[in-house]
């Protein structure tokens, strides 16, 4: 793992006249680009007709780029199978939840379960890897593109139906085991054979939640299988190259950890403004008031960091940004122009969170097709755009600062994809969202200036952390239960809830007891009530001081733990002592802040209160501060630093500072 | 008809190990339960494969329950046909309005028009009735479960299509008669034969309203036919047992009166918080401000009473509550925990409205499948839940109070399913809802402390009532017209409107005259205007005092009746004298209240103004007061009583009082 | 072209007993009706079975009407093919965007691309034209009815699919030309043959915008072809008669100019209250605050004028109102009763905008089917409705005032259907709407008392205008560019933007340069940013005075033109000098007003500031004022006139005045 930071670029030579390539390559090299990703969507140019290949252009593009010292990331082009393939495999197209077959004409138009397309995916991967796998300029491979983007993980096709039945047969062995696990006796839903099991759609009222959860697991597994088939071929035919996938943000429909396990490097496509617009439009729950407008041209100050840390975990510590937003994009509900400086800020934020390479999407804005309004480093007329200037500045700063790595984080936050599916399957109250809750914890931690390591529920070694937070894990596995128990015994502090460990792996409530698993076994959740986010309850500490508000979700709890905060109905909301703490409601930002204040005391974690939009990350060369807000912040006035590099102590909007001093006392 | 009040319970022995049954039965008996409803969804356990039956478990369950003196309500399990039946009858599944076939995997997945499934329904009913019909512990039968729940009355299937054509042929005789009745000349929609008539869906713009209204009538008739087939078998094979169906609340898609005519007892499934959440989310029109939040943990204080009175009418006076909400449920948009005491309040409210038995759903919370978050009297860990405690209290109070019946109500309110379909078919303004309007009248009456009898439009004897209210009956039949005219002549007071009698049975406007039928023949409705609920018009009496507001719907009227209230454009809103009154707009709660004040004077009805959330019902042993609000109300301070039993004069939230005195002067 | 104004009526003899016809005809003539439109939806009465015709009734109806001197507009009944035709051509029904086939049972249930139905359309046109084409009472023909109403232009049928492929082949010649024009290399979307091109629907994410734009062009062309086939037959078989189509309002899915080119007279169906309700419910962007409620019973004061001027352009100066709203209608979300006098006001407004004939829909309210709540001049009981009285008044006033024509307008506004499709295809920010923007310009102009001529982008002679406004024309053709350049050189003033000329005809951005075409070549649009309408930016002039607000859309511009207004980020919003002006953002009404103030100075256009809801139009006999507001306006107090006819100087709500004096100084 190199600690040197690099820049990359996404390039589509097939979109431009060959005459431009050499000049493009030269300018990339001059800008300080190390890596160029190519051939991502080029299948129709590589294989314009079935079995008939055109290599000259790609050979030439590779040589042109390599000739100026650029290193290449090649892609399997499987996210965009050409039109002729649909004639070959008419049923490779996925079906939507209404049973309509999706049409050719955009991208990601394949069903992960389709055996014929799986074969094509292996075939084209093999052909590409054989041709370029040992080319000296090829540094790595990207598999496919943005698995799950455009809601493409789940397909209601015949292939998925058959595949699901087989998967169930393998999982349960007998149909009675499945009937038992799902509780199918409930509404006479018992099956006599696996062949009778439908995909869980178009039912009269909701289908069995265990049924739906299993289908989500199955669908996620298909993504991992699809990826692993490409990975196996690439490993064999292109030894020594890094295998990467570019995950999408805001995509929780498959288990990124499982795919990450197959990769050398985890990367993601980081579009702060696009995500901010999408996310805020969908459901802003848990986002502080004013964020929608205040960060419209900068992005949510915690959304990028959350994904950096999530995908760094998926990559077991190795992270790239494969695509970074360079200006306005085309695909969000609204597409603002980024504040000047934000492209640089996002780049440094990514590096500070551990990214090794930050690659911009794309070299030059395309003048045609779906993304013609998506900016690039260069305008369609080939003049440099604003992002070009900022990328050049980053390149210089990389040289000046040299290599570095993130420091170890004092807080671990358990994030679990299956819990997202489980809560989404039965929300109980329609405002609940697992990922919004988890992001709420993350945000509250980051506002206190604390670095966070996102960990898997299967993580083994918790000893590096002063605090482990476990929100809304629907099923607490025996492993994690033991692990946390041991961690607590050795002095670690754990904060759980709400909705922690209330179900088993089959999505059933334990009949024997309502006690939570250890180390939370003093807690018993009798009932849960839900309400709309508008109905808030004031939450006070035992001195009757208001500490924030709860809403959306409220557990009725019996516990021997001391109650620290309670609501106006005297229901315990936050409880704990020594090393074990639990929160039984959805806390608003103020309450989340108060809870962390208490838990930080127990865990002996130092914190600051960072002002609006200011965030920081500790690294081996100092602490980076980045200013997402539209205000100036003076780090000295805020008592955060005495001296700072890059933009200095007086941090303007979109400013970045590096504070070498003061690292240890933070 | 017994006047003794009873408790019941819904029990699913098939969900629990046989070892638990005896203890369960014992505890039920000890709690004071009389009736146990079983086998509701047990088809897959009774007939796990086609034609192969498993009786041992059900025999044993019945014996176990009977052995401690419990009396059984058995169910035909037809709401949940097992999976193998779909192989036998692939087209028994209903189609939705987009033409998509619904899938197996939840419940109510059958089309009422499907002959094959009708045969299966008769078959399983016969088999069950033959086996258990004369068992001494069997007190009654429930047919199917919650007809119409999950929008299952109307199906766009081939069976429904053919059935509808046949129904039309029988109704109209010749296709020309149909063309005439529907006015098909209008857009060249004339048919040459009944085979050409489609189901009214997926048309380019709205289809003929007469076409849609007939399809709603047809669909409603199928429910009645389906039910009657089961009833006929049960009557024959299980003589002397009560035949019951459990209607759902908030379900107006079929004519409950027609089904009720076939039953011995009408019952319904009463989920005050679930309905409050659904209803408020859908369209809160007509609900006073603040109700959504103020009654979030108690339910709308008039919604239960309305349904009790509606379904008591459907049962010709005989009413049960088959399922009563015992705690938070799982299926509403939001699912709060009921205020402590509400389960008891709902029980007493039901008894006071004439329920003979109140049965809780369910004995023990299921730990699996769709309703695992639906509370029971017992928790999944078999400990008593809050509702257990409240049910036990009700059982004791039943013993203490002895039998009673409701008093005769001074006011009759005409409620008509067909009018709901008619207004829903052509709303004219999109905020209009017949049932919301009717509930608005009901609410205003109840706030004045007055008991209401909901009556059918075909009701014959109006002499018991001091006042008859007829809102928005789209077609005033000759029978009702004569009946009301006679009633008025003998001194009765009638209040009609808005939208009264404006169409004929074929959903056509009379060409001859715009006069309303007698006794409203002095009224002529020239035009109607509609607007959004936000656009309100102030309504004043003739002394120019504001009496409330009108919105949504406004008729332009010519009448010789004295105008009592008019809007700011001097349009008459409320008019009448002596015995005949009419309101020509949608009245907000304040205006509705003012109107009733005037009409009550004419009808010589005594009234009080009950404070927020306090309601009362007169019975043969005194007046029950129940407090839905979160305030305490002192009945003495309110001059409602000098002494009270149960919770006494100082009525806490969720409190219930019985006032023996003062019955007559109220 | 006659300058005498006429009244017309829509009449459906087939809806009424023959006994009523003679009296109806007599009353029409007495009322002052000149034209009667009949047989619009009468196909099932003319040809009740395939090939079997019933002429007696229609012959008699025509004779009855003709006998009192009424002149007839006959209709081709193709908007409502009878039910038997669907048996003949089962695939003539259009498919919706989900691939569901629309059903028979309303109207417009045909696919424009279906060859079989095209044949039927020609057949019935020929049969009717042969029978009645030379009847002396027949003055004209209406083709079909309201093309495009109910979203019927685009069909996703097999016929449309095949037709589209053929159209593409004819347009592009080779598949590579299409691939190039659409930029299909982008996501490997390249086709090997035209047979591979799908209709652009049900894709995983958005399909290629060029693909969608071409499908919209194709669909629009089918409407024009369909119409031309009828026109050709009518011209041949019914010489000397006017051929008319009645366009619908609020319908931009096909190019009305192309259809208009085929007609003698362009007409439209004018439903001010229905459109106001629909339009405001959809998206009120650009409408001043309060309009929704303030004009609820009058209609948007600019919506009718905009359509009059648009369709007068489509008819090359010849305009009729074929259907005018006579009272409440049935089909809008809300259907209010018009303010008394509005039917007269709408009639005079139409005449003042150049309508030759205003025809009311309909003679008598139908008591059955879909539109039974749609008012007529007469009630269902045959008594006169309010509109009858107002029509009679208009008839008298027509006689009194004599013939007149509109004056030439000083301002031309370019309106382009293809730009609407282009912006709708890629909105970039979801609040953007081309027609709302254009209507915003129109409204601002009209509030200044200025008449507007709506012109086509292909208009040749701009010399009559002092000012030409070109908003959001996505592609500025070479012709128009040259035309505007010449116009500017000769002293004309032009105002462009936002989003002007940014793409080429293939919906691609020019790669060579970001400069706009001449005469805007000093402008270069670097980037565009979009936001929700709630996020407004204050816009000030260079003296830092606020002049209004911008939102939704903001171009980042480089220009050598002087900046006149800029936003708080110092981005130019309005710029120009001498004869060339450009606005680079969506202006709110206040900003639009300020911009016009500046441009009017340059163009030397006199203006007034008309108060709320007062509008005026200059004609050859004087200036008409109409008062849409609920206030009285005194024209003298407003310094608009010294004397006025019709309702006089003190103009009540719904009042109309004619000011003979002062024409020249205005």
Chain B interface, best mutation among A101, A197, A201, A205, by max B CB count within 10 A: A205
Closest CA–CA distance from residue B369 to any residue of chain A (Å): 5
Which candidate in A40, A47, A120, A146 is catalytic? A146
Burial category of A221 from C-beta neighbours within 10 Å (exposed 0-12, middle 13-18, buried 19 and up): middle
Q: Tell which phi-psi region holds residue A341, choosing left (phi > 0), alpha (psi between -120 and 50) or beta.
A: left
At residue B261, the pLDDT reads 98
What's the CA gap between B612 and B591, in Å, rounded? Answer: 17
Q: For all residues of chain C together, what is the average pLDDT?
A: 96
What's the CA gap between A262 and B22, in Å, rounded? Answer: 54
On the question of pLDDT at B548 being above 90, the answer is: yes
At residue C1, the pLDDT reads 45
Are the CB atoms for A238 and A138 separated by under 8 Å? yes
Chain A CA closest to residue C196: A83
SS3 B67: coil
Contact A188 B87 (CB under 8 A): no
| pLDDT mean over C12-40 | 98
At residue A460, the pLDDT reads 83
For chain C, helix, strand, coil in percent to 5 are: 35, 20, 45
Are the CB atoms for A267 and A350 separated by under 8 Å? no
CA terminus-to-terminus distance, chain B: 27
At residue C460, the pLDDT reads 83
For each of the domains in chain B, give its residue range(s) and CATH number, in order of start. Answer: 6-154+225-401 (3.20.20.80), 158-211 (no CATH), 411-603 (3.40.50.880), 614-659 (no CATH)
At residue B1, the pLDDT reads 45
What's the CA gap between A497 and A492, in Å, rounded? Answer: 17
Establish if A509 touches chain B: CB-CB under 8 angstroms: yes
At residue B665, the pLDDT reads 47
Write down how long chain B is. 666
Closest CA–CA distance from residue C335 to any residue of chain B (Å): 5
How many CB contacts within 8 angstroms connect chain A with chain B? 175
Residue with tokens 């329609």: A430
Q: B365 contacts in A (CB within 8 Å)?
A: 509
Residues of chain C with pLDDT > 70, as a percent, come to 99
User: C135 is written with which tokens?
Assistant: 């009847």
In this structure, of A439-448, B417-426, B511-520, the range with the lowest mean pLDDT score is B511-520
Q: Give strand pairing partners of C565.
A: C541, C574
> Angle at CA B369, nearest 5°, toward B365 and B373?
45
Are the CB atoms for C597 and C450 separated by under 8 Å? no
Contact A368 C530 (CB under 8 A): no
Give the pLDDT confidence of C215-238 residue by residue, as tens digits: 999 999 999 999 999 999 999 999
Q: What is the largest CA-CA distance in chain B?
A: 78
pLDDT tier at B289, thresholds 50, 70, 90: confident
Give the pLDDT confidence of C540-576 residue by residue, as tens digits: 999 999 999 999 899 999 999 999 999 999 999 999 9
Establish if B207 touches chain C: CB-CB under 8 angstroms: yes
Comparing CA positions, the residue from C469, C471, C431 lying closest to residue C551 is: C431
Comparing CA positions, the residue from A558, A482, A470 lying closest to residue A513 is: A558
Nearest to A526 among B41, B372, B379 (CB): B379
Q: For all residues of chain B together, what is the average pLDDT?
A: 96
On the question of pLDDT at C313 being above 80, the answer is: yes
Neighbours of chain A (3+ CB pairs under 8 A): B, C
Question: Which distant-in-sequence residues (6+ apart) come within 8 Å of B389 by Cβ?
Answer: none
DSSP B134-163: T-TTEEEEE-SS-TTTTT-S---SHHHHHH
At residue A663, the pLDDT reads 45
Q: Is the peptide bond before C498 cis (omega within 30 degrees of 0)?
A: yes
| pLDDT mean over B493-498 | 97
What's the CA gap between C228 and C247, in Å, rounded? Answer: 15
Three-class DSSP labels, C121-162: HHHHHHHHHHHHCCCCCEEEEECCCCCCCCCCCCCCCHHHHH
Q: B380 contacts in A (CB within 8 Å)?
A: 509-511, 514
Q: Is the peptide bond before C519 cis (omega within 30 degrees of 0)?
A: yes
Q: Which of A11-15, B533-537, C1-5 has the highest mean pLDDT?
A: A11-15
If you ran DSSP here, which 8-state letter would residue B339 be given? P
Nearest to B208 among C49, C152, C369 (CB): C369
Give the pLDDT confidence of C84-102 residue by residue, as tens digits: 999 999 999 999 999 999 9
Comparing CA positions, the residue from A466, A487, A453 lying closest to residue A603 is: A466
Closest CA–CA distance from residue A148 to any residue of chain C (Å): 11
C-facing residues of B in 530-559 (CB < 8 A) are 530-532, 534-535, 554, 556
At residue A284, the pLDDT reads 67
Q: Is the peptide bond before A519 cis (omega within 30 degrees of 0)?
A: yes
On the question of pLDDT at C510 being above 90, the answer is: no
Q: A14 contacts in C (CB within 8 Å)?
A: 185
Pairing of strands B656-659, B622-627: antiparallel
Between the alpha carbon of residue A87 and those of residues A81, C129, C205, the distances in Å are 11, 48, 20
Question: Which distant-in-sequence residues (6+ apart) come within 8 Å of C160 by Cβ?
Answer: C94, C95, C111, C112, C113, C154, C199, C218, C219, C222
Angle of helix C303-314 relative to helix C434-447, nearest 10 degrees, comes to: 110
Angle of helix B386-401 relative to helix B342-352, nearest 10 degrees, comes to: 30
Q: What is the largest CA-CA distance in chain C?
A: 78
Closest CA–CA distance from residue B330 to any residue of chain A (Å): 6
Residue with tokens 């129109």: C442
On the question of pLDDT at B664 being above 80, the answer is: no
What's the CA gap between A450 and A447, in Å, rounded? Answer: 7
Q: Tell which phi-psi region holds residue A617, choosing left (phi > 0), alpha (psi between -120 and 50) or beta.
A: beta
At residue A662, the pLDDT reads 58
What's the CA gap between C458 and B645, in Å, rounded? Answer: 87
Three-class DSSP labels, C15-70: HCCHHHHHHHHHHHHHHCEEEEEECCCCHHHHCCECCECCCHHHHHHHHHHHHCCC
Torsion of CA A173, A177, A181, A184, to 10 degrees: 120
Residue with tokens 């709902």: B346
Closest CA–CA distance from residue A204 to any residue of chain B (Å): 6
Q: Residues in chain A with pLDDT < 50?
A: 1-2, 663-666
Are the CB atoms for A242 and A265 separated by under 8 Å? yes
At residue C664, the pLDDT reads 43
Contact B369 A192 (CB under 8 A): no
Chain B interface, best mutation among A177, A183, A190, A204, by max B CB count within 10 A: A204
DSSP B597-629: HHHHHHHT-------TTEEEEEETTEEEEEE-S
Question: Which distant-in-sequence residues (6+ apart) come within 8 Å of A485 by Cβ?
Answer: A518, A519
Question: Which distant-in-sequence residues (6+ apart) come within 8 Å of B406 by Cβ?
Answer: B352, B353, B354, B451, B617, B618, B619, B620
DSSP A490-503: TT-EEEE-SS-S-S
Pairing of strands C572-577, C563-567: antiparallel
| pLDDT mean over C355-376 | 98
At residue C666, the pLDDT reads 44
């Amino acid at each position: 793992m190199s600690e040197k930071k690099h820049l990359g670029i996404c390039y589509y030579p097939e979109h431009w006249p060959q005459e431009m390539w050499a000049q493009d390559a030269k300018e990339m090299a001059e800008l300080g680009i190390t890596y160029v990703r190519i051939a991502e969507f080029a299948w129709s140019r590589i294989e314009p007709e079935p079995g008939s290949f055109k290599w000259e252009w790609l050979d030439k593009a590779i040589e042109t780029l390599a000739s100026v010292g650029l290193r290449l990331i090649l892609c399997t082009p499987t996210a965009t199978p050409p039109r002729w393939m649909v004639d070959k495999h008419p049923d490779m197209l996925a079906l939507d939840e209404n049973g309509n077959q999706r049409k050719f004409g955009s991208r990601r138009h394949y069903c992960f379960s389709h055996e014929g397309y799986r074969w094509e995916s292996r075939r084209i991967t093999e052909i590409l890897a054989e041709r370029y796998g040992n080319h000296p300029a090829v540094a790595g491979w990207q598999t496919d593109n943005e698995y799950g983007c455009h809601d493409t993980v789940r397909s209601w096709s015949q292939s998925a139906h058959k595949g699901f039945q087989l998967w169930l047969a393998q999982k349960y062995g007998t149909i009675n085991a499945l009937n038992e696990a799902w509780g199918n006796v409930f509404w006479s839903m018992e099956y006599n054979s696996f062949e009778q099991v439908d995909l869980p759609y178009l039912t009269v009222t909701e289908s069995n939640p265990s049924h739906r959860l299993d289908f989500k697991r199955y669908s996620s597994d298909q993504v991992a299988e699809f990826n692993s088939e490409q990975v196996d071929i690439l490993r064999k035919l292109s030894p020594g190259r890094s295998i990467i996938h570019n995950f999408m943000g805001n995509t929780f429909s498959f288990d990124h950890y499982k795919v990450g396990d197959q990769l050398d490097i985890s990367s993601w496509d980081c579009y702060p403004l696009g995500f901010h617009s999408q996310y805020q439009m969908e459901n802003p729950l848990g986002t502080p008031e004013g964020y929608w407008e205040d960060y419209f041209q900068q992005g949510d100050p915690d959304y990028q960091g959350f994904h950096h840390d999530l995908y760094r975990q998926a990559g077991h510590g190795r992270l790239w940004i494969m695509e970074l937003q360079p200006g306005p994009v085309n695909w969000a509900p609204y597409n603002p122009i980024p504040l000047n400086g934000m492209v640089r800020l996002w780049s440094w934020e990514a590096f500070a969170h551990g990214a090794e390479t930050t690659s911009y999407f794309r070299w030059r804005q395309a003048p045609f097709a779906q993304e013609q309004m998506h900016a690039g480093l260069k305008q369609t007329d080939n003049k440099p755009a604003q992002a070009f200037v900022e990328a050049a500045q980053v390149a210089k700063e990389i040289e000046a600062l040299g290599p570095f790595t993130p420091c170890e984080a004092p807080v671990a936050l358990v994030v679990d994809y299956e819990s997202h599916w489980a809560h989404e399957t039965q929300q109980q109250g329609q405002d609940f969202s697992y990922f919004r809750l988890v992001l709420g914890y993350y945000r509250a931690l980051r506002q206190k200036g604390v670095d966070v390591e996102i960990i898997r529920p299967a993580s083994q070694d918790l000893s590096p952390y002063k605090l482990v937070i476990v929100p809304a894990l629907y099923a607490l596995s025996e492993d994690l239960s033991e692990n946390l128990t041991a961690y607590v015994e050795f002095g670690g502090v754990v904060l759980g809830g709400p909705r922690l460990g209330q179900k088993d792996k089959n999505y059933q409530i334990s009949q024997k007891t309502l006690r939570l698993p250890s180390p939370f076994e003093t807690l018993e959740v009798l009932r849960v009530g839900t309400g709309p986010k508008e109905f808030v309850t004031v939450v006070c500490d035992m001195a009757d001081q208001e500490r924030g508000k709860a809403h959306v979700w409220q557990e009725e709890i019996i516990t021997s733990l001391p109650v620290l905060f309670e609501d106006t109905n005297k229901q315990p909301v936050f409880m704990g002592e020594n090393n074990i703490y639990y929160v039984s409601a959805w806390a608003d930002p103020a309450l989340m802040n108060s809870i962390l204040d208490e838990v930080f005391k127990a865990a002996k974690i130092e914190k600051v209160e960072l002002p609006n939009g200011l965030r920081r990350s500790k690294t081996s060369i100092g602490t980076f501060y980045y200013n997402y807000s539209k205000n100036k912040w003076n780090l000295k006035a805020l008592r955060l630093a005495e001296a700072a590099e890059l933009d200095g102590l007086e941090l303007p909007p979109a400013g970045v500072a590096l504070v070498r001093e003061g690292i240890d006392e933070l």
